[in-house]
Structure 1
Amino acid sequence: MNCLYRYEDWERYVNQQVSVVEADQLEAHLAECDSCLTYYEHAIQLHLDQLEEAIGPAPDIVEDVMADIKSTPVMHSAKVDNASSKADQEAPVIVKKKKDRDFTTFFHYAVAASFAFLIYTFGFFDQFVHAMDQTEVITAQTDSWLTRLQQTPLDWWEWLIDSVDS
């Protein structure tokens, strides 16, 4: 097929060196012409090769992924009863190792015991004992005051009630 477009036109298109109108024309022509499609594919491959030379080779993703997989916790399959498909019935579940759980439990108990020891050592509970002693003193004073009030003559009570009512 004899085309209006040459290989250089497709290189300019791949490198985005054409106008919007010309890009639309090239794209429309690309759907109709097999030889231009070959030119376009070759220009794309050349462009990708140039990018790879400029940037460098792609990192080895497989090694990174495998290292991440080895560092993840062990996974087991658990059956799901209300799943819609067979693939959904066996869902992976992350299970922590028993050793990790035991250490976490021990660590929590150790922190709690240390905290209680520090509170006891620095006399935090002494404040409560002192407050209890003060409460007993105040209760004893109140009891003696009420006893004295009950032993006063009734006239004093009548005078107090009359003064409050008026």
Structure 2
Amino acid sequence: MKHFSYDEWLSYVKDEVNGKNREELESHLYTCDQCLENYLLAVSEHESSLPVLSNEDSFTDLVMAEVSKQKEFSQKPTVLKQPVKKKKPYYQQSAFHYLIAAAATLLLTFSGVFQSLATYASAIEAPQHIKEKKPTVTEGVIDKTFAWMDSLEKKEANKK
């Protein structure tokens, strides 16, 4: 984002900026807080050089009278048309969507789909009662020892 300097804002306040730059400065002023601060500083510095109004009420009345004149000249007799609201088709209305959702829910409920899902979920969540029994290290050593002894006995028996 391009920021404008304090001097650029001061020249804007003094009305020393051409039309294109003026529009660019004004549109930037709406979006940038940093430049808004510079602009307000420039206005407060230049405020002392502005003419002082002796009678503020009469000035306001004159301005409002000019605004009214400008309004009268720019207004043309126009017929106000009410915008025609097009009715949405039934399938684009939210009530139709709620009706479809309710019908689908009832259909799935009465067909037993939810019951089978609940049964399946409970079967998955249920703890497994049948666990593989892992032998302890001691039992493993004893089993291997007996297997070794059995193999020795078979060798002795084969020798006889």
User: So what's the TM-score if we normalise by structure 2?
Assistant: 0.31
- Greater relative CO, 1 or 2 (CA 8 Å, sep 6+): 2
User: So what's the TM-score if we normalise by structure 1?
Assistant: 0.30
Higher strand share: 1
